[in-house]
Amino acid sequence: MDYRVREGLPFPMGAHWDGKGVNFALFSRNASKVELCLFADDGQRELARIALPEYSNEVWHGYIEGLAPGQLYGYRVHGEYAPEAGHRFNANKLLIDPYARQLWGELRWDPALFGYEIGHKDKDLSFDERDSAPFIPKCRVVDEGYDWGSDRHPQKAWNETSFYEMHVRGMTMRHPKVRDDLRGTFAGLATPDLLDYVRALGVSAIELMPIHAFVHDQYLLDKGLRNYWGYNSIAFFAPHPQYLSDGGIEEFKRFVAAAHERDLEVVLDVVYNHTAEGSELGPTLSFRGIDNAVYYKLLPDQGRYYINDTGTGNTLDTGHPRVVQMVTDSLRYWVEVMHVDGFRFDLATILGREPDGFSQRNGFFVAVAQDPTLARVKLVAEPWDSGPGGYQLGNFPPGWAEWNGRYRDTLRAFWRGDPGQLPDLARRLTASGDIYDHQGRSPFASVNFVAVHDGFSLYDLTAYNDKHNEANGDDNRDGSDDNRSWNCGVEGPTDQEDIVELRQRQMRNFLASLFFSQGVPLLCSGDEFGATRQGNNNVYCQDNDLGWLHWDHDAAAQAQIRFVQKVIQLRQRYPMLRHGRFLLGRYHETLKVKDVSWINANGEEMTEGEWQDGNARCLGVLLDGRAQATGIVRRGEDDTLLLILNAAAQAVEFCLPKVSEGKSWERLVDTNIPDADAQSFALSAPYLVTARSLLLFVLRTQ
């Protein structure tokens, strides 16, 4: 074919079809030449190498007439191979376009993927001349046009939001209503019965674990394992190819539209902190060969080595304008073109790192804050990384929410029965104002969770004292040892009825605590029916029955699903469970109201001595519906609620408190009798609170 090449434009980045041809634009500050490589439909036969003819503002670009969607391509980038100076150009390596909208094929591990000769005495200082093209995925030109019809973003308010974390394969591989040929794909995830199930739970947002194209690490494949979770991205605009059943990115759009039809938001777990290229001994797949010294943070005066604040071997340099541009372009693409509703940022502390530490005024945060597209979606940070000063809980900019690890730790410790937990429990139940109540942030800055993908499942929290990660092939050394779990007396599965019942109640305690706490709840898929990972708290490599959900629910699992539906419905019914202002426990002189009061078993307010009693394990929380709901000074008109939590090993007789204007207390939830009907109790009546149980009452005024 006689390719007709024109100068093209340096913007937009990536490969873009205009109906007549394709414009290619690739940033590289330090390259000396960029070749576009076109491939046949089989992905193996290289049809042409075309030098991009223009270099404008550090962007190489060219326009090829006649090319159309479906065209496979990659880049070869020429430049200096000088690892000690931070440069690792090697034109023998075919490179993935950082802006590729789709990848075709899977990476096949081979020594040719590395820029240096494996086994050479000089390691990465050596130079490898083998062609990597046969082994690397190809980029694919796409047609971004799509008829969204009447699709709209649900745009749920934060006080209506509850996240449901799920994995594409984990959710679909064993679901009975998903067609066999669609298991493990976005099309499978769009199965009506599956999405209807999620909607029926009552959650408002699906949080998808990473779906950007990622790499399966060679050391895992050698052990017969795979990178199941996907925290190993290599292309931030492309869906993972394995998740596409029909080979087209429209499949993801159809899933999003199906979720939106059910009023469910779609939030992506994104990994902009590192890439799959690893350390200096890793492969050359994309960024390393395009401009290593720009894309990655390198050690000062030791450009051969990478700063490893992520614990993965490298760290993306989001302090560089072009890297910030790539990340924000990616975010906008997923919102504007793919219609997603928000993002959860993995190891988000990385994004705010400056040379002298974490800063809210980092260039990335500034870029996001002024972006009108990103201003209307949900932004959630995982507020830690493995670098120095990496734990930044509560320090993200206003407008961001954060995964609250303190909430997880406190709730686990409290329900395990650890001593001295009441003061911290009170803070966590009220959206951790000690952490987030500054700069005008709201209670919804706190994303509360008890169990997520990383760590024990909810059931395993109640069934294992120790991790059991032997299946991962690392002699049980991987995964956290700080689980704060309690096996209720027996390690692992048991038929002992008293222990089975206690585990079920403990799970209900966790679930009710989660949805009755101020802030935003996050539920991990499967926890609503007691899924187990058999004590493995790090199933990152278990793309199999250990990591997947099983849907053959017994009576106990079905009962737990009903309980989850009930507590979510109650959260939506009673605004005091999702109050828009921090509850401070102060008496308002004008309104004659205290928004929250802490109640002891005598039905009276807690004393200082009781707060300091390390053996105390029972607490009442009185949420007054007359509390000021907005910045306008006026009484609220919501129902008043009483929450009682008892983590003691013995029952506690609790005097239901007197409340002005109240006539009786109506019991809504008792985790000891989860299917009990509502029942009324007189003010000051004693209620026997079962050992290790939770109750919720609403005040009746008539």
The predicted-structure confidence for 300-351, as pLDDT tens digits, reads as follows 999 999 999 999 999 999 999 999 999 999 999 999 999 999 999 999 999 9
Are the CB atoms for 522 and 403 separated by under 8 Å?
yes
Residues 427/434, Cβ–Cβ less than 8 Å = yes
Mean pLDDT for the chain?
A: 97
DSSP-based three-state secondary structure for 200: helix
- Check pLDDT > 80 for residue 638: yes
- Torsions phi, psi of 451, nearest 5? -145, 140
Mean pLDDT in residue range 161-186: 98
Average pLDDT of span 418-429: 98
Q: Is the peptide bond before 83 cis (omega within 30 degrees of 0)?
A: no
Active-site residues, by number, are 346, 382
Q: What is the pLDDT of residue 247?
A: 81
Say if residues 603 and 654 touch (Cβ distance below 8 Å): yes
This prediction has a pTM of 0.97
Q: 6 pLDDT exceeds 80?
A: yes
Rounded average pLDDT over 208-230: 97
Which segments of 517-549 does DSSP mark as H helices, in order? none
Tens digits of residue pLDDT in 17-61: 999 999 999 999 999 999 999 999 999 999 999 999 999 999 999
Q: Is the pLDDT of residue 408 over 90?
A: yes
Looking at residue 676, what is its pLDDT? 86
Tens-place pLDDT, residues 380-396:
999 999 888 999 999 99
- The per-residue pLDDT for 478 is 96
Does residue 641 register a pLDDT over 80? Answer: yes
Distance separating alpha carbons of residues 287 and 284, to the nearest angstrom:
8
Residue 360 pLDDT > 80: yes
Q: Is the pLDDT of residue 662 over 80?
A: yes
pLDDT band, residue 444 (cuts 50/70/90): very high
Least confident of 436-445, 571-580, 628-637: 628-637
Q: Identical fold at 1-145+210-236+262-341+358-390 and 580-700?
A: yes
Segment 622-644 shows an average pLDDT of 95
The CATH code belonging to domain 580-700 is 2.60.40.1180
Separation between Cα atoms, residue 695 and residue 702, nearest integer Å = 22
CATH code of the domain made up of 1-145+210-236+262-341+358-390: 2.60.40.10
What pLDDT sits at residue 613?
Answer: 97
Domain boundaries, the chain: 1-145+210-236+262-341+358-390, 580-700
Task: Give first-to-last CA distance, the chain, whole Å.
Answer: 84
pLDDT at 1 over 80: no
How far apart are alpha carbons 307 and 350 in whole angstroms?
11
